[in-house]
Amino acid sequence: MLMAKVVGSVVSTQKDESLVGKKLMIIQPINSEQQDIRFQQVAADTVGAGIGDYVLLTSGSSARKLFSTSSDAVDYAIVGIIDTFDF
């Protein structure tokens, strides 16, 4: 899993059928010091995260398994909202 900060949302009226009804959020992966790593991505939200939330992500086939079929066009999924960091 990865940690990330939700930095925005995506509105897409034309998209693959597998994405219809999914809330899409722009996420910035972070390290344990809350510093940006990698580049921003779009993730399907499964937990109701909002802009500014720190979240847990899963990716690849693990993200696709959260939805109805493994052929859904999802690379990243938000699977948890982080309440606190304890390092």
* Within a domain: 56: yes
| CATH number for 11 | 2.40.50.220
pLDDT of residue 71: 65
d(CA 7, CA 53): 8
* Within a domain: 53: yes
pLDDT of residue 69: 64
38's CB contacts (< 8 A; 6+ apart) are: 29
10-66 pLDDT, tens per residue? 999 998 887 888 899 999 999 989 899 989 999 999 999 999 999 999 988 887 777
Higher per-residue pLDDT: 34 or 73? 34
Checking if the pLDDT of 68 tops 70, the result is no
Domains held by the chain: number: 1
* Within a domain: 71: yes
pTM: predicted TM-score of the whole model, two decimal places:
0.88
DSSP 13: S
Range of the domain at 18: 2-81
